[in-house]
Amino acid sequence: MNDSFYFTIAAPGNAEFKERGSKFLAYSFPIMSTSDFKLSLDLVKKEHSKATHHCFGYRLGLDGNSFRVSDDGEPSGTAGKPILGQIDSKQLTNTLIIVVRYFGGTLLGVPGLINAYKNSAALVLQTTTIIQKSVEIIYSLQFDYTTMNDVMNIIKQQQVTIIEKELNLFCRLVIGIPKNRLDETVYHLNEIRGVELVKQ
């Protein structure tokens, strides 16, 4: 993985897969934190409260170490791992896939389950756009209202993300600077008189 960019999904998606009477409903979500994951899982569980299983896999962050899988009562290794496998096969992060199963009366066996969860996850990833995003370094920025135009011009030119803003007589922004534009952006912002730039 390039340390300036990562791949994730642009928007939530959903897909359906049927296998011998069982219905598998797959949902994908772009997530930024474990609380995003919990919210998404709660939503899906509420919507499908009568489903037999709510299995999932997600990967978060850029080091690849933050991930979780759940078979939610299916035989161990038959659901969460194949779901995460699909996320990893596309080199995605900050991505969650939940697969809801409505049991159709026929047991699928271990190979059948692995296949069904894998196919459901693969299908849902086909319904959403995969995007490349810049790795961003977070800074807080304080400046006088009179320098607002200069600051905003640099933010626009360097494709900096504004995460939080308080615009009063004295302004404060929390920004994400693309890693590959960091030195240039910091240099230009520091050129403006009265700007305070602090790495978070």
pLDDT at 54 over 90: yes
The C-alpha atoms of residue 27 and residue 40 are separated, in whole angstroms, by 9
Do 73 and 99 share a domain, yes or no?
yes
Last residue of a domain, one of 116, 132, 148: 132
Which residues have C-beta within 8 Å of that of residue 89, sequence separation ≥ 6?
A: none
Last residue of a domain, one of 107, 132, 157: 132
Q: Where are the beta strands (DSSP E) in 31-108?
A: 53-60, 66-70, 95-102
CATH number of the structural domain spanning residue 109: 3.30.230.30
Do 93 and 156 share a domain, yes or no?
no
Give the range of the structural domain holding residue 146, as residue numbers without chain letter: 135-199
Q: Residue 172: exposed, middle, or buried by beta-carbon count in 10 A (0-12, 13-18, 19+)?
A: middle
Q: Which residue has the tokens 């949902």?
A: 27
pLDDT at 190 over 60: yes
Do 110 and 147 share a domain, yes or no?
no
Cβ atoms within 10 Å, residue 162? 12
Q: What is the pTM of this model?
A: 0.82
Antiparallel, parallel or unpaired: β 53-60 and 95-102: antiparallel
User: How confident is the prediction for the chain on average, in pLDDT?
Assistant: 95
| Conformation bin of residue 193: beta by default, left when phi > 0, alpha when psi is -120 to 50 | beta
Comparison of pLDDT for 1 and 187, the residue scoring more: 187
pLDDT at 1 over 60: no
pLDDT at 10 over 60: yes
**Under a CB-based contact definition with an 8 Å cutoff, are residues 159 and 135 in contact?**
no
* Mean pLDDT (whole number) for 166-181: 93
Last residue of a domain, one of 87, 105, 132: 132
Do 32 and 95 share a domain, yes or no?
yes
Do 43 and 119 share a domain, yes or no?
yes
Do 116 and 167 share a domain, yes or no?
no
What's the domain count of the chain?
A: 2
The C-alpha atoms of residue 81 and residue 45 are separated, in whole angstroms, by 20
Q: What are phi and psi of 172, to 5 degrees?
A: -135, 130
CATH number of the structural domain spanning residue 177: 3.30.70.260
The C-alpha atoms of residue 133 and residue 21 are separated, in whole angstroms, by 39
Would the CA dihedral through 30, 32, 33, 39 be positive or negative?
Answer: negative
